């Protein structure tokens, strides 16, 4: 018998593991381990944790609707696997999908050791990225990984043209799943059970959202994706990052509609794969803050940024939306991140950790990639002297101030000509803080003892 453990793959179809299990033709135990470490500090009350738990609840209901059983347990994964293998000695193989974060690598090493200690095989299948990262890198023939997006993108497109993996055929209803039995001490706390059963009135089934996007907003995506007041994006990132829908499905949908708009949307899937690629191939990806001397930065303005009290309208509007809803358009993620790291000269890790809690579509690798870009650290990042002016950005992408009026009601009292401008009591002067940031980050970049990343990589 095989044991399948769900993680960032909260769906009942288009999973490599389901095809793999179906080929075996034997009953299996399907589980979801809710990990206390990933939900620590009452994270289940924050947008990121609550969103994941609602998705987990939808997965459990999908299994039930298919007449199948999903076993949900709460506890440290390796310990639960130990106990489960003791209770079910008929399990001879454990199947999971791959993940690349430092915690996931450590967790999977412990799971592998627990499986091998009981004589079980531990099988890891790729699913997270559109192009399997190791296969892609081997296919390129490169010794070192790509560090710059554009050459990566060209090869990524060529790889997919030759080796694209279509949507997987098996559905959980094609499999025979069985109950694992009880594991005393691994029951879900009532608070987590309630969070799983909570219904999100604003959430729609990913396939329905995808179809609506293809019929509507995709036709103007390239022009509208940055016009954040219009919300012209698919809003599928949360479902994608939790695995409620696969990158393969989105790629297939884009491929069916050959146009500039679908190409622009496909490019965003490539950026997602680029960050996942870096998180696996770059040993410094999760440690860039240790490569630079950040002692000249401080967190004195972090609380004002976090609480939407900076006096810069677009910053405060974006942070208000994030705090209240768990969502922030991508353009605003770049603006707010660069404002925190550059104008406020706060170490990027403060913002990265805050987004980790608040973003409903949070993903460790993608979130870190965005913050490394904004803070000019890492690979293919914004040059240290490039600092977005939030007022200019606000005027360009929300000229009528509609977004500001939505999230900062007081702004509706201002004349349109001044609605974008800083308040008299703004915490920093944009021009002066820009000059100071350039000087500070020039010193930081030069503090790196490693050779600089060049554009011909």
Pairing of strands 28-34, 71-74: parallel
**Res 346: pLDDT:** 98
Is residue 448 very low, low, confident or very high in pLDDT (cuts 50, 70, 90)? confident
The Cα 100–Cα 96 span in angstroms is 13
DSSP 141-198: T-SS---SHHHHHHHHHHHHHHHPPPPP--BGGGS-B------TT-PPPHHHHHHHH-
**Which residue bears the tokens 């390796």?**
78
The Cα 92–Cα 120 span in angstroms is 5
Q: What is the pLDDT of residues 370-429, one digit of tens each?
A: 999 999 998 788 889 989 999 999 999 999 999 999 999 776 566 556 899 999 999 999
**Res 258: pLDDT:** 62
| Closest of 309, 304, 314 to residue 403, by C-alpha | 314
Give this prediction's pTM.
Answer: 0.93
Alpha helices in 27-148 (DSSP H): 47-65, 77-87, 102-117, 133-140
For residue 78, is pLDDT > 90? yes
Q: How far out from the chain centre does Cα 250 lie?
A: 16
* Residues in CB range of 185: below 8 A, 6 or more apart: 75
Q: What is the pLDDT of residues 107-161, one digit of tens each?
A: 999 999 999 999 999 999 999 999 998 899 999 999 999 999 999 999 999 999 8
- Angstrom CA distances, 223 to 43, 226, 235, 296, stand at 36, 7, 16, 39
The Cα 457–Cα 439 span in angstroms is 26
**Res 447: pLDDT:** 79
| Closest of 95, 71, 124 to residue 3, by C-alpha | 95
**Which residue bears the tokens 């089934």?**
205
Segment 327-341 shows an average pLDDT of 97
Adjacency order of strands within the sheet including 93-97:
71-74, 28-34, 2-6, 93-97, 121-125
| Closest of 307, 407, 288, 410 to residue 358, by C-alpha | 307
Burial, 452: exposed, middle or buried (Cβ in 10 Å; 0-12, 13-18, 19+)?
A: exposed
Eight-state DSSP code of residue 233: S
The Cα 429–Cα 408 span in angstroms is 21
For residue 450, is pLDDT > 50? no
Q: What is the pLDDT of residues 52-74, one digit of tens each?
A: 999 999 999 999 999 999 999 99
For residue 364, is pLDDT > 80? yes
Question: In the numeric block, which tokens belong to residue 244?
Answer: 């409620």
Is residue 204 very low, low, confident or very high in pLDDT (cuts 50, 70, 90)? low
The Cα 421–Cα 313 span in angstroms is 7
The Cα 279–Cα 378 span in angstroms is 11
**Which residue bears the tokens 């055929």?**
169
**Res 219: pLDDT:** 85
CA atoms within 13 A on the CB side of 45: 4
* Residues in CB range of 202: below 8 A, 6 or more apart: none
For residue 34, is pLDDT > 80? yes
SS3 30: strand
For residue 198, is pLDDT > 90? no
């Amino acid at each position: 018998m095989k044991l399948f453990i769900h993680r960032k793959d909260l769906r009942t179809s288009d999973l490599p593991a389901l095809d793999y299990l179906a080929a075996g033709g034997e009953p299996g135990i399907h589980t979801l381990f809710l990990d206390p470490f990933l939900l620590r500090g009452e994270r289940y009350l924050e947008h990121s944790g609550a969103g994941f738990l609602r998705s987990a609840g939808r997965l459990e209901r999908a299994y039930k609707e298919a007449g199948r059983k999903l076993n949900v347990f709460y506890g440290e994964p390796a310990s639960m696997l130990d106990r489960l293998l003791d209770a079910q000695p008929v399990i001879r193989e454990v199947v999971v999908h791959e993940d690349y974060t430092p915690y996931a690598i450590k967790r999977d090493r412990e799971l592998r050791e627990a499986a091998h200690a009981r004589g079980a095989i531990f099988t890891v299948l790729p699913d997270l990225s559109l192009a399997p990262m190791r296969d892609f890198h081997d296919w390129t023939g490169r010794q070192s990984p790509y560090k710059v997006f554009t050459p990566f993108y060209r090869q990524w497109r060529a790889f997919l043209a030759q080796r694209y993996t279509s949507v997987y055929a098996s559905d959980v209803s094609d499999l025979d799943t069985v109950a694992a039995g009880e594991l005393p001490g691994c029951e879900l706390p009532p608070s987590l059970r309630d969070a799983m059963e909570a219904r999100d009135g604003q959430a729609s089934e990913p396939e329905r959202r995808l179809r609506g996007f293809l019929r509507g907003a995709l036709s103007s995506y390239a022009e509208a994706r940055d016009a954040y007041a219009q919300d012209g994006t698919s809003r599928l990132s949360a479902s994608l990052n939790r695995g409620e829908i696969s990158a393969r499905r989105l790629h297939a949908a884009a491929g069916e509609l050959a146009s500039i708009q679908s190409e622009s949307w496909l490019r965003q899937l490539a950026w997602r794969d680029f960050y996942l690629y870096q998180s696996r191939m770059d040993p410094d990806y999760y440690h860039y803050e240790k490569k630079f001397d950040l002692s000249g930065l401080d967190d004195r303005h972090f609380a004002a940024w976090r609480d939407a009290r900076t006096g810069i309208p677009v910053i405060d509007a974006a942070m208000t939306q994030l705090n209240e809803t768990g969502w922030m358009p991508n353009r605003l993620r770049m603006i707010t991140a660069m404002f925190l790291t550059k104008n406020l000269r706060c170490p990027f890790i403060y913002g990265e950790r805050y987004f980790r809690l608040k973003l409903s579509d949070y993903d460790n690798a993608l979130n870190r990639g965005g913050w490394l870009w904004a803070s000019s650290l890492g690979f293919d990042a914004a040059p240290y002297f490039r600092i977005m002016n939030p007022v200019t950005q606000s005027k360009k992408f929300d000229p009528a101030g509609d977004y500001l009026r939505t999230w900062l009601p007081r702004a509706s009292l201002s004349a349109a000509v001044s609605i974008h401008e800083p308040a008299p009591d703004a915490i920093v002067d944009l021009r002066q803080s820009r000059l100071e940031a350039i000087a500070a980050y020039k010193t930081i970049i030069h503090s790196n003892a490693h050779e600089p990343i060049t554009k011909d990589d």
